[in-house]
Structure formats: structure tokens, C-alpha cells
Amino acid sequence: MAIDVAIRSGSEASKWCNNPINRAWILEGSPVARTDFLSASADGTSNTFYWDCTAGRFNWFYTFDETLHILEGSAVLKFPDGTSRRIVTGDTIFFPKGSQAEWTVEKYIRKVAFCRSPWPGPVVALRRVVRRLRRAIRGDFGPLQSPTAFPTD
């Protein structure tokens, strides 16, 4: 089976697209956001993007799980409980589906974002059962659970 691997160096031309922030979410300024699509999973549940944004203050509501890594710039995140945190180059943050944050971008920020639409609970449970059955059929019990790892009488 051939596996397609995509490698893009930082010097290659990007294909940035405007990605306007929902006007109702903007609290201050005129932030301009863009994305650059990097990859998608075969099952369609995950995507990876570059995202950047100019100065402004806005709310963001997460409709999927997002793990992001700040590549350049900084912002202050304010959470619904009233706490705030400055994020800077090198920080990695996880936002689960359903979370929200108020972003204040002072000048500019650029991140790489891994976005995943979680499967519904029953699907996850079924997938877990199927995986266990496959391992049992193959006799693959893992290093700690192999039949030879248990004492025999």
C-alpha cells in the first residue's frame, strides 16, 4: 500500500485565504484573519491549518477540538471563568469542542492548528470494542497482557 506523504518547507509559497472572523464575535478593532490549509485526514475528521490574525479583540467559539501551537506573535486569552493568560511563541494550547475564549491580539499572531471533529460517544465505544476484538482474534494482547506474561500453574 502506497502512502502519500506531503512535506512543505517554510520557504515554499503559501496559499493563504481570507477567513473572516464572524462579525458578531468582534469586540474591538478590525482583525483580519487568514488560513492556509495544510492537511486533512483520510476519514475527514481532522484538518491542519496555518492561521494568522492582525490586531483586534474577539470571541471564539470552538465547534471542534483544536490543538494549536503559536509560531509567531502573542495574544491574551480570557476564559469564561474570568481568568486570563498571555500566549506567546512556542506555547501549545488545547481547546475542546464547546469551549470558548476571548482573544486579544495586540499586533499579530500566527499559529498552526490541528482541528478534529470528535466522534459521538457511541461510535467511540463501538470502535474500542472492534479494536479489542481484532487484537484478540490476532492474539495480540500487548506486552503486558500476553498469555506468557502471566504465571501458569
CA 110 centroid distance within chain? 14
Q: Say how many Å lie between the first and final Cα of the chain, rounded.
A: 44
115-133 tens-digit pLDDT: 998 777 787 678 788 888 8
Strand residues in the chain grouped as ranges (E): 17-18, 26-28, 33-40, 46-61, 65-78, 84-88, 92-95, 100-116
Question: What CATH superfamily is the domain 17-116?
Answer: Jelly Rolls (2.60.120.10)
CB atoms closer than 10 angstroms to residue 117? 14
Helix/strand/coil percent split, the chain, to 5? 15, 45, 40
Residue 149's pLDDT band, with cuts at 50, 70 and 90, is very low
Share of the chain above pLDDT 90, in %: 63
4-53 tens-digit pLDDT: 555 565 555 568 999 999 999 999 999 999 999 999 988 888 999 999 99
- Ordered by start, the domain boundaries in the chain are 17-116
